[in-house]
């Protein structure tokens, strides 16, 4: 199998080298990994799914894998989830495969049997052990039941081939059914499918072997193998290596690395995870396979989001191919841009999960915060406007940037104004938060896009309504953002009470004891900022991050998890909110727990159900008087050096009335429209959709 890099004139010689699989050749080393978008879960979504994958095939990716399809009802992710179990269903999939092939692409179908992770009462598992992330207790499979699951996998693969797929990926990781058979944590059987490892791995091997027999030799068979389970009692390293060798012998074409189970308490793809954080584990496996004379290509992934990272991973021998899933939601043209030396134009996935995984876990169609067209290729179309208009966009935050660039791409004449000296608005605060460094990439992307689309950018320019009237724009878009909400706490004007903006911009020094008023997204961000030593973000320091989350070498510790090691910060931070209950409840579905866990390990105190009574000068610092409950009795005093106000936002829209009064067609987007729900996902989506329609 070819492993040599392409010519040295290629910007990414290893990444863009073809991969010869014997019976077929992939045009490069880029796999668009499986990502559940929700398009799998309804017949009506097939045209949208076809357009979604066709756009990415056009973008040059070597091989794509669909979101997971269950091989039978027991394997559903949720009731009536996507399933491929009949000839009729296979016919529907032909829309997808023919659209991809028409663009010169290749696509494999992922066969996903969720086992005890199934969010439905018909779920099954090796043993009757409920998972911590599902309310349903699985039924224990009988031996005949196991045989039925194997046959379902094989049937699904044959139907995939009939539907025109180039291959299948058998999902054996992330804690799903096959993975559940592999470890004693979930497999306590005493028959031929439990006990020794040889028996626990039988299901995986039988599925691969019988699938290969059924589909023939010229069909790609990817096996997704959990190389580090990140759960106590997970697979040992010897077991991982044994399984990889057995999977190759059974007929797999490629081994894809799976990292962690869904129930693991270690983040694996969030933005605070360092780039390429787990590629060293794939390297370990690849080295073992090569030492044994086995040549099966091995795929790695997880937090690889730019071509230079991918190139470095491949050139250092960590893997033969790179899997990226979310980066293709963010930018379908990722590979073409890399190949054409335009990687600075890539719309980089910032690993926020806000529009993709958070949607998928809430049964909403997935999209992308930085690319709202993802998953909506048929409905959100950016085409030339019927007439060129003169447009002004006020505010160069995410909403204004999205609107201005989209308008210009449609042929409008666009002037973009901002009073700040740089584009980005609130993103300039976010990028300063440890673990959110990726936000800088979005600003780089929009900077490039502004230049390319010819938007006239006016920084350091505060515009008044009169200026806009003089220039006689056809329409004005106000993306003027937000101002911090005034919580009106008696004593808040004392020195030492700071706004989150001043803190994040480093305009004030902050003492050792701090209280934060408000525990929304910004309160959590400011807490993280204050308990991290400047320049010590673990997102940029892999060994420190691994220690902080208790990730160990899986060759030394089963499952690769140990007790986290965290040096307590010098600063003591208390995070407060008025609502009762858990703090950070409205943070992202898939990332909120990470923020909470990170702050807890840094001893951040979290208080809810608080009434803010008053702030007073206290010694050389401040005293924050708080009470709990309706009676406002028995005040407690928090003695602190500083209090930071993170109490939400209010819209900034002073230009609206004068412009509308003067008869100018004026639109509001982003925080200027709705501060209570302000976030970048809504801002970019709203800016793009408005601009697509004007
Ligand atoms: P937010 O999420 O609305 O939180 C505001 C906080 O202030 C809440 O904890 C609220 O809790 C408190 N509050 C509201 N009115 C108050 C008052 N009058 N006095 C005292 N406290 C008050 O707003 P944000 O934290 O400013 O975030 C803005 C937006 O950016 C949000 O939509 C957020 O999702 C987004 N963002 C997201 C992230 C992320 O990690 N996903 C990070 C940063 C920002 P109580 O009313 O219970 O006290
Ligand atoms: Fe990446 Fe965020 Fe887009 Fe998901 S929503 S693909 S994590 S940028």
Best residue among 325, 370, 590 to mutate for probing ligand 2's pocket (most ligand atoms within 8 Å of CB) is: 370
Distance from residue 476's CA to the centre of ligand 1 (Å): 29
Say yes or no: CB of residue 355 within 6 Å of ligand 2. yes
Average pLDDT over residues 488-513: 97
Question: Which one of the ligands is nearest to 670 CA?
Answer: 1
Q: Which atom of ligand 2 is least distant from the CA of 271?
A: 7
With a CB cutoff of 8 Å and minimum separation 6, the contacts of 601 are: 548, 564, 566
Residue nearest to atom 46 of ligand 1 (CA): 578
Q: With DSSP H G I counted as helix, E B as strand and the rest as coil, what are the percentages for the chain, rounded to 5?
A: 35, 20, 50
Question: Which one of the ligands is nearest to 516 CA?
Answer: 1
CATH node for 497-532+570-647: 3.50.50.60
Question: Which one of the ligands is nearest to 37 CA?
Answer: 2
Do 626 and 578 meet the contact criterion of CB atoms below 8 Å apart?
no
Q: State the pLDDT at residue 679.
A: 87
Q: Which atom of ligand 1 is least distant from the CA of 587?
A: 41
Q: State the pLDDT at residue 566.
A: 84
Virtual torsion, Cα 256, 259, 262, 264, nearest 10 deg = 160
Average pLDDT over residues 59-66: 98
For 317-349, the pLDDT digits (tens) are 999 999 999 999 999 999 999 999 999 999 999
Question: In what helix (H) or strand (E) does residue 636 lie, and over which residues does it extend?
Answer: strand 636-640
Say yes or no: CB of residue 407 within 6 Å of ligand 2. no
Cα 534 to its chain centre, rounded Å, is 25
Distance from residue 133's CA to the centre of ligand 2 (Å): 23
Distance from residue 520's CA to the centre of ligand 1 (Å): 3
Do 528 and 434 meet the contact criterion of CB atoms below 8 Å apart?
yes
Say yes or no: CB of residue 329 within 6 Å of ligand 2. yes
Question: Domain map of the chain by residue range?
Answer: 19-361, 390-483+650-693, 497-532+570-647
Catalytic residue of the set 12, 117, 176, 612: 176
Output the ligand 1 site: residues, CB below 6 A.
Answer: 485, 487, 517-523, 525, 577-579, 587-588, 646-649, 677-679
Distance from residue 259's CA to the centre of ligand 2 (Å): 19
Say yes or no: CB of residue 353 within 6 Å of ligand 2. yes
Do 104 and 57 meet the contact criterion of CB atoms below 8 Å apart?
yes
- Report the DSSP pairing between strands 63-69 and 30-32: parallel
Burial tier of 295 (Cβ tally within 10 Å: 0-12, 13-18, 19+): exposed
Q: Which atom of ligand 2 is least distant from the CA of 269?
A: 7
Distance from residue 308's CA to the centre of ligand 2 (Å): 19
Residue 2 banded pLDDT, cuts 50, 70, 90: very low
Going by C-alpha positions, the residue among 458, 453, 473 that lies closest to residue 390 is 473
- Report the DSSP pairing between strands 25-26 and 19-20: antiparallel
Distance from residue 513's CA to the centre of ligand 1 (Å): 21
Best residue among 326, 446, 681 to mutate for probing ligand 2's pocket (most ligand atoms within 8 Å of CB) is: 326
DSSP 489-502: -TTTTSTTEEEHHH
How far is Cα 301 from Cα 273, in angstroms, rounded to an integer?
12
Residue 678 banded pLDDT, cuts 50, 70, 90: low
Do 146 and 124 meet the contact criterion of CB atoms below 8 Å apart?
no
Question: In what helix (H) or strand (E) does residue 416 lie, and over which residues does it extend?
Answer: strand 413-417
DSSP 654-694: TTHHHHHHTT-EEEE-GGGT-STT--HHHHHHHHHHHHHH-
B/e letters for 145-162, b = 16+ CB within 10 Å, e = fewer, are ebeebbebbbbbbbbbbe
HSE, side-chain direction, 13 A CA sphere, residue 416: 33
Instruction: Name the DSSP class of 43.
Output: G
Distance from residue 49's CA to the centre of ligand 2 (Å): 18
Say yes or no: CB of residue 326 within 6 Å of ligand 2. yes
How far is Cα 57 from Cα 630, in angstroms, rounded to an integer?
59
Best residue among 647, 651, 677 to mutate for probing ligand 1's pocket (most ligand atoms within 8 Å of CB) is: 647
Question: Which one of the ligands is nearest to 375 CA?
Answer: 2
Say yes or no: CB of residue 366 within 6 Å of ligand 2. no
- Cite the DSSP H helix spans in 531-615: 542-549, 592-601
HSE, side-chain direction, 13 A CA sphere, residue 163: 30
- Cite the DSSP H helix spans in 500-571: 500-504, 521-530, 542-549
In terms of phi and psi (left: phi > 0; alpha: psi -120 to 50; beta: otherwise), the region of 8 is alpha
Instruction: Name the DSSP class of 138.
Output: P
Do 669 and 683 meet the contact criterion of CB atoms below 8 Å apart?
yes
How far is Cα 468 from Cα 663, in angstroms, rounded to an integer?
12
Question: In what helix (H) or strand (E) does residue 121 lie, and over which residues does it extend?
Answer: none
500 has catalytic annotation: no
Question: Which one of the ligands is nearest to 649 CA?
Answer: 1
With a CB cutoff of 8 Å and minimum separation 6, the contacts of 253 are: 21, 167, 220, 221, 222, 296, 297
For 605-658, the pLDDT digits (tens) are 999 999 999 999 998 999 999 999 998 999 999 999 999 999 999 999 999 999
For residue 222, give Cα distances in angstroms to 4, 70, 97, 182, 203. Answer: 21, 16, 17, 18, 16
Distance from residue 648's CA to the centre of ligand 1 (Å): 4
Q: Is the pLDDT of residue 677 over 70?
A: no
How far is Cα 123 from Cα 686, in angstroms, rounded to an integer?
39
In terms of phi and psi (left: phi > 0; alpha: psi -120 to 50; beta: otherwise), the region of 184 is alpha
Say yes or no: CB of residue 352 within 6 Å of ligand 2. yes
Say yes or no: CB of residue 350 within 6 Å of ligand 2. yes
Do 186 and 125 meet the contact criterion of CB atoms below 8 Å apart?
yes
Distance from residue 377's CA to the centre of ligand 2 (Å): 16
Q: Which atom of ligand 2 is least distant from the CA of 357?
A: 4
**What token pair was written down for 582?**
């858990």
- Report the DSSP pairing between strands 621-628 and 636-640: antiparallel
Say yes or no: CB of residue 354 within 6 Å of ligand 2. yes
How far is Cα 56 from Cα 136, in angstroms, rounded to an integer?
36
Do 640 and 511 meet the contact criterion of CB atoms below 8 Å apart?
yes
DSSP 194-219: SSSHHHHTHHHHHHHHHHHHHH-SSS
Do 560 and 258 meet the contact criterion of CB atoms below 8 Å apart?
no
Sheet holding 572-576, edge to edge: 497-499, 642-645, 513-517, 572-576, 605-607
Q: State the pLDDT at residue 1.
A: 45
How far is Cα 261 from Cα 322, in angstroms, rounded to an integer?
20
Say yes or no: CB of residue 602 within 6 Å of ligand 2. no
Say yes or no: CB of residue 349 within 6 Å of ligand 2. yes
Residue nearest to atom 22 of ligand 1 (CA): 647
Residue nearest to atom 1 of ligand 2 (CA): 349
Instruction: Name the DSSP class of 232.
Output: T
Distance from residue 366's CA to the centre of ligand 2 (Å): 9
Residue nearest to atom 8 of ligand 2 (CA): 349
Distance from residue 606's CA to the centre of ligand 1 (Å): 15
Distance from residue 482's CA to the centre of ligand 1 (Å): 12
Say yes or no: CB of residue 54 within 6 Å of ligand 2. no
How far is Cα 626 from Cα 638, in angstroms, rounded to an integer?
8
Question: Which one of the ligands is nearest to 270 CA?
Answer: 2
Question: CA torsion sign, 526 to 530 to 531 to 532?
Answer: positive
Do 648 and 521 meet the contact criterion of CB atoms below 8 Å apart?
no
Best residue among 426, 499, 518 to mutate for probing ligand 1's pocket (most ligand atoms within 8 Å of CB) is: 518
Q: Which atom of ligand 1 is least distant from the CA of 649?
A: 26
Q: State the pLDDT at residue 363.
A: 87
Residue 675 banded pLDDT, cuts 50, 70, 90: confident
Say yes or no: CB of residue 368 within 6 Å of ligand 2. yes
For 115-135, the pLDDT digits (tens) are 999 999 999 999 999 999 999
Q: Is the pLDDT of residue 39 over 70?
A: yes
Say yes or no: CB of residue 254 within 6 Å of ligand 2. no
Question: Which one of the ligands is nearest to 488 CA?
Answer: 1
Q: Is the pLDDT of residue 3 over 50?
A: no
How far is Cα 383 from Cα 404, in angstroms, rounded to an integer?
14
Query: Mean pLDDT of all residues in the chain?
Result: 96
Class of the 390-483+650-693 domain?
alpha beta
Q: Is the pLDDT of residue 6 over 70?
A: no
Distance from residue 490's CA to the centre of ligand 1 (Å): 20
Share of the chain above pLDDT 90, in %: 95
For residue 525, give Cα distances in angstroms to 54, 269, 521, 570, 584. Answer: 38, 18, 6, 18, 11
Neighbouring C-beta atoms of residue 176, cutoff 10 Å: 24
Residue nearest to atom 3 of ligand 2 (CA): 368
Task: Tell me the β-bridge partners of 456.
Answer: 415
Do 74 and 44 meet the contact criterion of CB atoms below 8 Å apart?
no
Burial tier of 483 (Cβ tally within 10 Å: 0-12, 13-18, 19+): middle
For 580-598, the pLDDT digits (tens) are 999 998 888 899 999 999 9
Is 19-361 assigned to CATH 3.30.1370.60? no
For 359-416, the pLDDT digits (tens) are 998 889 999 999 999 999 999 999 999 999 999 999 999 999 999 999 999 999 999 9
């Amino acid at each position: 199998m070819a492993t040599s890099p392409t010519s040295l004139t290629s910007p990414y010689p290893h990444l863009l080298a073809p991969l010869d699989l014997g019976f077929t050749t992939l045009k490069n080393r880029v796999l668009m990994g499986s990502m559940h978008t929700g398009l799998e879960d309804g017949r009506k979504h097939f045209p949208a799914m076809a357009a979604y994958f066709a756009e990415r095939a056009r973008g040059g990716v070597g091989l794509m894998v669909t979101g997971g399809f269950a091989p039978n009802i027991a394997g559903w992710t949720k009731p009536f989830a996507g399933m491929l179990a009949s000839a009729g269903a296979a016919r529907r999939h032909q829309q997808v495969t023919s659209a991809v092939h028409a663009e010169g692409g290749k696509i494999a179908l992922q066969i996903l049997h969720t086992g005890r992770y199934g969010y439905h009462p018909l779920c099954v598992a090796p043993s009757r052990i409920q998972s911590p992330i599902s309310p349903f207790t699985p039924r224990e499979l009988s031996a005949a039941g196991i045989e039925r699951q194997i046959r379902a996998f094989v049937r699904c693969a044959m139907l995939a081939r009939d539907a025109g797929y180039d291959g299948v990926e058998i999902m054996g990781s992330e804690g799903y059914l096959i993975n559940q058979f592999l470890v004693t944590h979930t497999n306590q059987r005493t028959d031929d499918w439990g006990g020794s490892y040889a028996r626990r791995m039988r299901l995986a091997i039988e599925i691969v072997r019988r699938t290969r027999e059924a589909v023939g030799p010229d069909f790609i068979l990817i096996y997704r193998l959990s190389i580090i389970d990140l759960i106590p009692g997970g697979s040992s390293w010897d077991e991982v290596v044994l399984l990889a060798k057995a999977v190759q012998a059974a007929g797999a074409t490629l081994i894809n690395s799976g990292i962690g189970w869904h129930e693991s308490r270690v983040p694996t793809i969030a933005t605070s995870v360092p780039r390429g954080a787990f590629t060293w584990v794939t390297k370990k496996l690849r080295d073992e396979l090569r030492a044994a004379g086995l040549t099966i290509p091995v795929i790695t992934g997880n937090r690889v989001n730019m071509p230079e990272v991918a190139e470095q991973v491949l050139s250092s021998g960590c893997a033969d191919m790179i899997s990226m899933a979310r980066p293709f939601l963010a930018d379908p043209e990722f590979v073409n841009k890399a190949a054409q030396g335009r990687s600075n134009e890539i719309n980089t996935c910032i690993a926020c999960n806000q529009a993709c995984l958070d949607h998928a876990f809430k049964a909403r169609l997935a999209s992308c915060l930085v690319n709202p067209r993802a998953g909506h290729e048929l409905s959100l179309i950016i085409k030339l406007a019927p007439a060129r208009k003169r447009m002004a966009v006020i505010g160069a935050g995410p909403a204004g940037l999205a609107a201005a660039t989209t308008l210009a791409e449609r042929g409008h004449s666009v002037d973009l104004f901002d009073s700040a000296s740089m584009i980005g608005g609130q993103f300039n605060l976010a990028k300063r938060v440890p673990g959110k460094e990726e936000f800088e990439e979005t600003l780089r992307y929009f900077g490039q896009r502004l230049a390319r689309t010819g938007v006239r950018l006016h920084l350091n320019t505060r515009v008044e309504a009169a200026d806009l009237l003089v220039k006689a724009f056809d329409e004005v878009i106000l993306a003027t953002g937000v101002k911090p909400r005034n919580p009106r706490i008696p004593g808040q004007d004392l020195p030492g009470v700071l706004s989150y903006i001043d803190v994040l911009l480093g305009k004030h020094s902050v003492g050792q004891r701090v209280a934060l008023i408000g525990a929304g997204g910004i309160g959590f961000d400011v807490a993280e900022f204050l308990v991290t030593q400047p320049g010590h973000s673990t997102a940029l320091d892999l060994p420190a991050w691994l220690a902080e989350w208790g990730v160990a070498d899986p060759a030394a510790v089963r499952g690769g998890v140990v007790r986290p090691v965290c040096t307590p910060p010098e600063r003591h931070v208390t995070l407060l909110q008025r609502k009762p209950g858990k703090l950070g409840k409205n943070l992202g579905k898939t990332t909120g727990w990470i923020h909470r866990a990170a702050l807890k390990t840094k001893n951040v105190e979290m208080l809810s159900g608080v009434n803010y009574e008053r702030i007073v000068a206290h010694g050389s610092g401040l005293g924050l008087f708080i009470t709990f409950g309706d009676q406002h009795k028995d005040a407690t005093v928090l003695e602190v050096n500083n209090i930071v106000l993170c109490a939400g936002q209010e819209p900034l829209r002073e230009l609206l009335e004068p412009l509308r009064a003067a008869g100018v067609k004026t639109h509001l987007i982003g925080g200027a429209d709705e501060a209570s729900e302000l976030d970048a996902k809504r801002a970019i989506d709203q800016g793009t959709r408005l601009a697509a329609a004007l």
